[in-house]
Amino acid sequence: MVAENAKIIRDRIARACKRVGRSGDDITLIAVTKSFGTEEIRMAYEAGIRDIGENYVQEARRKHEELSDKPLRWHFIGHLQSNKIKYLADWISMIHTVDSIELGKQLSAWGARTKRTFDVLVEVNTTGEATKYGVTIEKASSLAKELSTLPNIHLRGFMTIGRFLPDPEESRPAFRSLRKLRDVMQGEGVPMTDLSMGMTNDFEVAIEEGATHVRIGTGLFGKRPKKNLEEEKQ
Ligand SMILES: *Cc1c(COP(=O)(O)O)cnc(C)c1O
């Protein structure tokens, strides 16, 4: 089932790219596996997926350990507290959710000690909803500029979450505003390229608006099992 779903998602990605004259190769499909098990990740791997997105540090760490034989790239897409950096620093490929200069500095300091650089995105709350993490679009450019000067941080771009509404068109203005901001930053000499935006319900609109990374959970794996509250409290 995961393989079939992956094929359907890839076809939809390709068609969305075609509509706006982009290449499907420019899009990284991230399988979001929070609250699913390593079995689902293996199925995604069999379907050719190499990028995995996780929201919770302990859960991600456990799965990474179990699957350490697999050449996967792990993306952290949940809220990251700086005291948890040590648990993922050795193996995380990209952190999508940097929303403060303090977190950026802690990551950079950790990177200096362990001789690695972290690929990061600034999480932007493009819809202004109080329930979401991320900096406002007004603050995003100054944070991005500050982060881009830190030695062990490689600022790759921005991340955002669209509106949780049935009509994906409702997310389009948010995605477009983030793309514009990315373009402005590039114009000002900040070499950022990536836009992590679009989930199962709105990834095609996100691609039309310039997404480079789409984060797909239910579209690949079906409905998520009930959340493990203990794990979430970690
Ligand atoms: C859960 C989650 C996703 C995937 O959502 P689906 O609607 O299941 O595709 C993507 N991004 C973030 C940040 C998430 O928390």
**Across residues 157-178, what is the average pLDDT?**
97
Nearest by Cα to 97 from 67, 53, 59: 53
Is residue 172 within 8 A of residue 189, CB to CB? The reply is no
Give this prediction's pTM: 0.96
Q: Where are the beta strands (DSSP E) in 57-148?
A: 73-76, 92-98, 118-123
Both tokens of residue 131?
A: 């329930």
pLDDT single digits (tens) 187-222: 999 999 999 999 999 999 999 999 999 999 999 999
Q: How far apart are CA 141 and CA 150, in angstroms?
A: 15
Confidence of residue 61 (pLDDT cuts 50, 70, 90): very high
Show the CA angle centred on residue 91, arms to residues 86 and 95, nearest 5°: 75
CA distance 28 to 49: 9
Quick check: 234 pLDDT over 70? no
- Is the shortest distance between the CB of 55 and ligand 1 below 6 Å? yes
pLDDT for res 228: 56
What is the 32 CA–ligand 1 centroid distance (Å)? 6
Determine the atom of ligand 1 nearest the C-alpha atom of 224: 8
From 171, 173, 158, select the one nearest 200 (Cα to Cα). 171
The pLDDT value given to residue 62: 98
pLDDT digits (tens, 9 = 90+) for 91-135: 999 999 999 999 999 999 999 999 999 999 999 999 999 999 999
Residue 122 CA to its chain's centroid (Å): 10
**Measured distance CA(26)–CA(83) in Å, rounded:** 34
51 CA from centroid of ligand 1 (Å): 14
pLDDT, one tens digit per residue, over 25-58 is: 999 999 999 999 999 999 999 999 999 999 999 9
Per cent of the chain over pLDDT 90 is: 96
For a pocket test of ligand 1, which of 125, 199, 214 has the largest count of ligand atoms closer than 8 A to its C-beta? 199
